[in-house]
């Protein structure tokens, strides 16, 4: 069986690494694992990473993605970094709200707001 390649785009800004999820659906276990295989090395290789994950293209996701975000968040904060989420579809945001993850994650409307929030004062 072919290994699933996640469809993400990574941009490196002055103070921030921006990961844009380009898939509309992240539903299969193999897709979540491929996403994990892409995100975790980014976090583990850069101490104090300021990471923005842009969900602007995502319309559907499985709860396993929420678990992955929690693991990514833990790694980011352990290394002294920051994690910001942005562009979350209103239906998906409702899941964050119901699970109270909207209180755990810093969530912004768009990539610009999220990026600006990581800039040192």
Q: What is the DSSP string of the chain?
A: -PPPPP-EEEEE-SS-EEEEE--SEE-SHHHHHHHHHHHHHHHHHSTT-EEEEE-TT--EE-HHHHHHHHHHHHHHHHTT-EEEEE---HHHHHHHHHTTTTTTSEEESSHHHHHHHHS--
Note whether residue 106 is domain-resident: yes
Q: How confident is the model at residue 47 (pLDDT cuts 50, 70, 90)?
A: confident
Note whether residue 34 is domain-resident: yes
Note whether residue 28 is domain-resident: yes
* Whether residue 2 has pLDDT greater than 60: no
Query: What pLDDT score does 1 carry?
Result: 43
Question: Which pLDDT tens digit goes with each residue over 89-106?
Answer: 999 999 999 999 999 999
Q: How confident is the model at residue 6 (pLDDT cuts 50, 70, 90)?
A: low
* Whether residue 20 has pLDDT greater than 60: yes
Starting at the earlier edge strand, list the strands of the sheet with 8-12.
8-12, 17-21, 50-54, 82-86, 106-108
Lowest mean pLDDT among 6-10, 25-29, 80-84: 6-10
- Here the CATH number for the domain that contains residue 87 is 3.30.750.24
- Of the chain, the end-to-end C-alpha distance in Å amounts to 49
Number of domains in the chain: 1
Note whether residue 121 is domain-resident: no
Note whether residue 2 is domain-resident: no
Q: How confident is the model at residue 5 (pLDDT cuts 50, 70, 90)?
A: low
Note whether residue 1 is domain-resident: no
Query: What pLDDT score does 4 carry?
Result: 58
Provide the residue range defining the domain that includes 101: 8-116
Note whether residue 63 is domain-resident: yes
């Amino acid at each position: 069986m072919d290994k699933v390649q996640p469809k993400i785009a990574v941009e490196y800004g002055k103070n921030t690494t921006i990961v844009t999820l380009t898939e509309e659906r992240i539903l299969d276990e193999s897709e979540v694992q491929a996403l994990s295989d892409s995100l975790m090395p980014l976090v583990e290789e850069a101490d104090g990473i300021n990471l923005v994950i842009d969900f602007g293209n995502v319309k559907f996701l499985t709860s396993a993605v929420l678990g992955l975000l929690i693991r990514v968040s833990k790694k980011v904060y352990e290394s002294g970094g920051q994690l910001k989420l942005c562009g979350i579809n209103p239906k998906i945001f409702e899941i964050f709200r119901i699970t109270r993850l909207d209180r755990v994650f810093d969530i912004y409307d768009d990539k610009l707001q999220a990026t600006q929030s990581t800039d040192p004062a």
